[in-house]
Structure 1
């Protein structure tokens, strides 16, 4: 039985996991770097231990130290959050060898889905549509050019390993592809230790829509409907909402069934997400699977009433899902905005000292934060300092509510992307639900350049 959990992460997701553990009567252990000593999650936990210096290799990626602390603290389980070690099969195996429950799927499934090439192959076997592209690694730039000419430009060049947009680039021509291939392969090798590249056809006017899954150890798998995550900058999401304003009920049902079928075929357990690209005709194609909790999970929790972190813990503790697919319904509309310490025009990080930090409040306003006033945002980690989530009876009400909440969101001492978020939310195309992955490039950046 899980009575004590170590959270192998930082920031808002560490605080998020701690809150659910407290609700369940589970004791918590936080681990932190020297840069995070004053972070809110550190004082929230029942016990806190220093990992090491700020750099992730010496702290949040130091698997040996994390396992050592877990043993000394006598924890039953480790929750990895997202990022860092959350999709590291080797860490999962180390937890198992130490007799510690890893709150997530098996290392085998994780490693298969961690390779985008292997994931494509697995989805094809499960009967899930995939974007036209290569079924294996591309050996050279010359080979890439030959394939691109067959499937047609533009193409999306992608690193097989990793995520967060690293090693990913849209290319429009042979010359551009030749230049991009080597540089992206080297970058992927630097970040993930794997420089393998593959390609997919770039879908025009596509939307990024994902299905949230839950699956236990007894063969029960369900979905919690979809989230639309099309508003992105640098291939990273900034605004997410649930449900999608675009897909029909028929497509929603098809996508949900396809995602559940994929989970069942893989023998997947825990929470996970199947990400799809959806074209203007509502045809959907597998993009990737995230074998962890997602940053944007709160919007799904708001419209379904399901605590996804709680379900992860219950599943890891050997319990069956306590509800069926037919019992999951959609109530209202939720929108999440990611608050970044970054310049709203260049998207460059803006580290520094936060002198003022005041959050909006209200009945249907939810804040997930990583910082407080008198906190130093360092350049060592992702610049996201918080998430603002609102719920409305419908999409129009949710848009109005989140705009008002953002106007009440006070951060001084650093730059944030709040001005950018407000411009997107106030754009007629966004309000009309015309949100594709090209939205920021088409409607926000041109406006910025002319200012």
Structure 2
């Protein structure tokens, strides 16, 4: 009996394990201390030492061999596009003295080409497929040389980027140097290229789903439109696209040409940029794996694409499976909405924290599908605690809400209804209002979305989304509190819990004591809420209070941070927002780089205004913290060093602003 190791996590691991179970395969997977969300869906599991092991080819193959697996399915992300892993699977029989492990995906050579964006461009050009002007670059000077030939704007990309990582649009000289550096930092191989940017009104992101059997058979399963993006990370996808058939037909032909030349095996997505006004188009890249948004193709074709992957890995041909686009015409429309743990109102900042099963309510009904790793306890052993942690180690995707309708209008209406039923209470915020705002916008209904549209209309989209969901979650004539029901509008999307019952006159006893072993006696105080102006605790609480800390009444506003704690508070210090000598972290993330002044033990420790104090990695994307003025670093914050995960508000450095003051 075949046995597959699913070398991934989250919803895609669950998706793959379910299909393997249906086929009667034995299943295994890997997990970490911080995430076992998918583990109970497998027959057997093995714990990884660290998150980085998901990218360790030797470790993954070792796990597969030790568990007696015949196949490895990489899912998406991590090692899914690794020709090194595919080659190691082929060679595994030599080291184990038996049959080799089968890699469920394209051949080693096809992966080598498809996973390298420049080699993919060369492939496209070799079969007469349109590509934008581009070249490899190893320095910012190389980028400038390219700009001198083609002009701005240009796009710098990591050869092995993905999910919006390792991509920056450069529109002028002032951002070129920093953009190059950030792309380099987000590229695992530290290899970049640059191409002429095809962005702005009219330009849509279209991708074609390909299936090949590795024996000469290739077919397409129509196209998806993925133009609703933020920082080139897809947010909403639809199938089929809003383009006329005459505009997408050349993309099918181009994809089949490239797939045939690669002797393509398994699932692949061939991506393009298409100008809806002029019908110009250019090849973008190949994703040689199952795609995040494969779900909507499944909905319009009624084909289980992951099942096809498994069967093809065992030698089945497209003919034997009766898989062809002619046999499965696109019927109806499907939309995928990515629910993420991000706060769009705070620059899409990651919203980490703990989610309990009772905090979530999923939409349901005809034409609604949910793919998520927040499983609500399905398949969990007795006594298992149904809680999940959202942190910076993995991407922010919580769930994919997939809706299907006979028409684009019906699918859109279903999507809005599904979003109005979604609930997530607690401290983790989501982008539900953003998604609703997209579906309710005129640009969505008229098909005039383009790849930079969302970033240019974000405020308007959020406003409409909030109004729409608030209006849909009011039940006239029903007193929800009397009925014992939490108000939907108090909990939707933003993550607020139902307000804690606090009344004016409520008294709290506060004890303050040092955490060390000093003999200082605890200080006891009393706080009394005099008035309550706004109660949406824990998100926000305001009013006035009396306290023994001071004799005069105090007005107060308590607002929960956009980030929940993800590391030990005792290991770091908090920045005082009222102290100009404190530079704090504006977000939660992993420190990947610090200004030399923060670690220098002697010599100059000067930091100029606008210089990078720290670089933080959140979901494998890098953000910089800049010095607000010329200063001298007195010391780094407690525990601040590369590799450490810190929270929003953590003290990065204490500085002396005398340099700035001397200029005034």
Q: Same fold (TM over 0.5)?
A: yes
Equivalence for 1:401: 414
**d(CA) in 1 for partners of 2:342, 2:139:** 36
Task: Answer whether contact 1:87 1:110 (CA < 8 A) is retained.
Answer: yes
**d(CA) in 2 for partners of 1:110, 1:395:** 35
1:103 Cα deviation (Å)?
Answer: 0.2
Q: Tell me if 1:253 matches 2:256.
A: no
Equivalence for 1:432: 446
Equivalence for 2:127: 126
1:168 alignment partner, SS class: strand
2:362 alignment partner, one of 326, 334, 359: 359
More displaced stretch, 221-230 vs 112-121: 112-121
Cα displacement string for residues 367-387 of structure 1 (whole angstroms, at most 9, x for unaligned residues): 000124532222211110110
1:1-16 → structure 2 map (5 Å cutoff): 3-16=2-15
Equivalence for 1:388: 401
1:5 alignment partner, SS class: strand
**d(CA) in 2 for partners of 1:179, 1:80:** 33
1:49 Cα deviation (Å)?
Answer: 1.8
**d(CA) in 2 for partners of 1:9, 1:75:** 15
Q: Tell me if 1:349 matches 2:343.
A: no
Equivalence for 1:262: 258
Task: Answer whether contact 1:209 1:230 (CA < 8 A) is retained.
Answer: yes
**d(CA) in 1 for partners of 2:258, 2:372:** 33
1:231-380 → structure 2 map (5 Å cutoff): 231-245=228-242, 247-279=243-275, 280-321=277-318, 322-323=321-322, 324-345=324-345, 346-355=347-356, 356-371=359-374, 372=376, 374-380=387-393
Task: Answer whether contact 1:153 1:202 (CA < 8 A) is retained.
Answer: no
1:129-168 → structure 2 map (5 Å cutoff): 129-131=130-132, 133-134=133-134, 136-168=135-167
**d(CA) in 2 for partners of 1:186, 1:443:** 29
Task: Answer whether contact 2:237 2:335 (CA < 8 A) is retained.
Answer: yes
**d(CA) in 1 for partners of 2:123, 2:182:** 25
1:200 Cα deviation (Å)?
Answer: 2.2
Number of residue pairs matched by the alignment: 439
1:447 Cα deviation (Å)?
Answer: 5.9
Q: Which has the higher strand share?
A: 2
The structure number with the bigger radius of gyration is 2
1:445 Cα deviation (Å)?
Answer: 4.0
1:179 Cα deviation (Å)?
Answer: 4.1
**d(CA) in 2 for partners of 1:196, 1:186:** 7
**d(CA) in 1 for partners of 2:325, 2:446:** 30
More displaced stretch, 389-398 vs 314-323: 314-323
Equivalence for 1:415: 429
Cα displacement string for residues 41-89 of structure 1 (whole angstroms, at most 9, x for unaligned residues): 2111111221223xx21x3223333222211221110110000010111
**d(CA) in 2 for partners of 1:449, 1:359:** 23
Task: Answer whether contact 1:277 1:285 (CA < 8 A) is retained.
Answer: yes
1:164 Cα deviation (Å)?
Answer: 2.3
1:448 Cα deviation (Å)?
Answer: 5.6
Q: Tell me if 1:66 matches 2:69.
A: no
1:3–1:410 CA distance, 2 compared to 1 (3 A) = same
1:153 Cα deviation (Å)?
Answer: 1.6
2:185 alignment partner, one of 184, 187, 190: 187
Equivalence for 1:88: 82
Cα displacement string for residues 377-431 of structure 1 (whole angstroms, at most 9, x for unaligned residues): 2221111011000100011000110111011111112101111111111111112
2:86 alignment partner, SS class: helix
Equivalence for 2:115: 114
Q: Which runs of 5+ in 1 are unaligned?
A: none
Task: State the TM-score, normalizing by the size of structure 1.
Answer: 0.93
**d(CA) in 2 for partners of 1:140, 1:375:** 42
1:140–1:42 CA distance, 2 compared to 1 (3 A) = closer
Task: State the TM-score, normalizing by the size of structure 2.
Answer: 0.64
Task: Answer whether contact 1:152 1:201 (CA < 8 A) is retained.
Answer: no
1:165–1:315 CA distance, 2 compared to 1 (3 A) = same
1:275 Cα deviation (Å)?
Answer: 0.5
Task: Answer whether contact 2:127 2:257 (CA < 8 A) is retained.
Answer: yes
Q: Which runs of 5+ in 2 are unaligned?
A: 93-99, 377-385, 467-664
Q: Which has the higher helix share?
A: 1
- For the aligned residue pairs, the C-alpha RMSD in angstroms reads 1.9
1:283 Cα deviation (Å)?
Answer: 2.0
Task: Answer whether contact 2:437 2:463 (CA < 8 A) is retained.
Answer: no
**d(CA) in 1 for partners of 2:462, 2:300:** 34
